[in-house]
């Protein structure tokens, strides 16, 4: 009897955890969808294509750029639509920040 109750409680807890995980994943997907819809309005077609290519090559950097573009728009620092050249400049700026510089000195 007690073993059955324990098994039943474990199963309920497992179901709760699975449901919670599914809800979190759904919320994450909806947030990504909202960001992508906003980016369609904020980027020119060429810039959208460049960002899609970047997403294929480096998804983490693409997500950083997407978040930065949305933030800049919300802060009023961005004129819509962002052109391809502007996106290139933004990518170069982000890349320069993330790149480590190595200095070798010889004695």
Domain count, the chain: 1
Looking at the domain assignment, is residue 103 inside a domain?
no
pLDDT in tens, 33-76: 998 898 999 999 999 999 999 999 999 999 999 999 999 999 98
Pure H helices in the chain: 2-42, 45-57, 59-74, 84-98
What pLDDT band is residue 84 in, cutting at 50, 70 and 90?
A: very high
pLDDT reading at 93 higher than 80: yes
Position 2 in a domain: no
CATH of the domain at 51: 1.10.8.140
Look up residue 91 and give its two tokens: 């990518």
- The verdict on residue 106 lying in a domain is no
Name the band, by pLDDT with cuts 50, 70 and 90, for residue 23. Answer: very high
The answer to whether residue 49 sits within a structural domain is: yes
Would 27 be classed as within a structural domain? yes
How does residue 19 score in pLDDT terms, banded at 50, 70 and 90?
A: very high
Domain extent, residue 75, equals 8-97
Does the pLDDT value for residue 88 go beyond 90?
Answer: yes
């Amino acid at each position: 009897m007690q073993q059955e109750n324990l098994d039943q409680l474990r199963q309920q807890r497992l179901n709760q955890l699975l449901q919670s995980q599914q809800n979190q994943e759904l919320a994450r997907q909806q947030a990504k969808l909202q960001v992508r819809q906003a980016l369609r309005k904020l980027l020119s077609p060429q810039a959208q294509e460049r960002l899609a290519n970047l997403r294929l090559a480096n998804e983490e950097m693409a997500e950083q750029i997407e978040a930065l573009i949305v933030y800049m728009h919300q802060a009023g620092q961005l004129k819509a639509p962002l052109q391809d050249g502007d996106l290139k400049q933004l990518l170069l700026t982000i890349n320069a920040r993330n790149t480590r510089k190595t200095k070798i000195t010889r004695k």
